[in-house]
A = this chain, B = another copy of it.
Amino acid sequence: MAEPRAKLGKIIVRQLPTNTDLVESIKKVCADNGIRYGSILSTVGSLRKLTIECVVPSDKSGSGFDFGPPKVIPGPLQVLSLVGVIFETDKGEMDTHLHGSFSDSEGKVYGGHLIEGENPIATRLVTVIGEIADVSLIERYDEESGHRLLQVEPL
């Protein structure tokens, strides 16, 4: 089955401000530039600390999976990867789903689901965000799995 065809719209390259939160800053850049739907293309730089959740087995979720407790890793850390999408909730609010990997001062690597508000940027961090055009990306609650799932629809 063919998917709705999207294309890349505008590209934003941005040095995010020191000491702001990584997830909040990405959302602000998108809001400031009229990007409702997007994808992280490349991100390089450092964080002061890292706060992530990891996925764990769970009897309570329909899917059998849930998030474990937040893990805080003291920084400074370098961004080794950042992946994910910018979309809207079914109430029309901007949201993100971002995972990444990071190395500490000794080169040890950590990674998981980024918790908004808890990942302050160190001095330098540049992100490249690509607008997804011609489709909408909306996350809706799925009863079967007990999770919100992304739905892609032609605009």
Contact = CB atoms under 8 A, between A and B. Distances in A.
A151 B105 contact: no
Interface string A15-55: 10010000000000100111000011111101000001011
**Count of identical protomers in the assembly:** 3
B123 A65 contact: yes
Interface size class of A (residues with CB under 8 A): 35 or more
Interface of A: 1-3, 5-8, 10-15, 18, 29, 32-34, 39-44, 46, 52, 54-57, 63, 65, 68, 71, 75-85, 97-101, 103-107, 109-113, 122-124, 126, 128, 130, 132, 135, 137, 145, 147-152
11 contacts: A3-B12, A3-B14, A13-B85, A44-B99, A63-B122, A79-B99, A81-B101, A107-B112, A109-B111, A124-B148, A124-B149
